[in-house]
Chains A and B, each alone.
Chain A
Amino acid sequence: MMKSMKLCVRLFARARDIAGRDVIDVDVGEPITVSNLRRRLAAQYPALAALLERSALAIDKEFAEDDRIVSDGAEVALLPPVSGGSI
């Protein structure tokens, strides 16, 4: 039987405005890498794809590298670029 695993991704700023809510679900089946999660997110929410490309992903409140495995129950957040400000 296909395992079921659903990740909740928190959204902020323009990403939340685009999606119209502050959390979205992604069906992933089993633990996957951050880069695969990015692909799933872009496929499931095409409106977010362009911003997602420029965004960081955080797992359990830490920036996550692309090869990191996202396990069931992890707190995932999509972090659009911060304003930074001109020096």
Chain B
Amino acid sequence: MIHLTDRAIDYDALSEQVRRPDCGAIVLFLGTVRDLTSDRVTIALDYEAYPGMAEKKMREIEEETRKRWPVGDMVMVHRLGNLDVGDVSVAVAVSTPHRAQAFEACRHAIDRLKELVPIWKKENWADGSSEWIHPEKSGLQ
């Protein structure tokens, strides 16, 4: 299951959502808003998605992950809007029969999400300036 939300991600609920008797392992990844990038201080981030396409790519990543690993259940959530330092911006929870599969599947899903899903972030720096982050090397190119 995937979704985008403007509200705080209830990350405790996510591991419960994928916990099931036929799976002996759950891996939960949380991406949180970091306070420093090199030596620049972040006050807040804004996340923006291309609605429709972001969900579509996330669904494809779920399908792709399920094809490669014996996933019992998985949830991918991305938060949009204005986030404070420390807030959870993205979460991936995966359950599989054994732990190696859960680590690999979760890693794959978050890496692909960062590479392929049209969601952008704007840094709001402590000096009052802000900038959209569009790195030179990116998966969308």
Contacts and interface: CB of A to CB of B under 8 A. Distances in A.
Co-complex (A, B): yes
A51 interface: yes
Interface string B49-77: 01011001000000000000000000000
Interface string B83-124: 000000000000000000000000000010011111111100
Interface residues of A, number: 22
A83 B141 contact: no
B135 interface: yes
B136 interface: yes
B129 interface: no
Interface of A: 10, 12-14, 17, 51, 54-56, 58, 61-63, 77, 79-85, 87
Interface of B: 31, 48, 50, 52-53, 56, 111, 114-122, 131-141
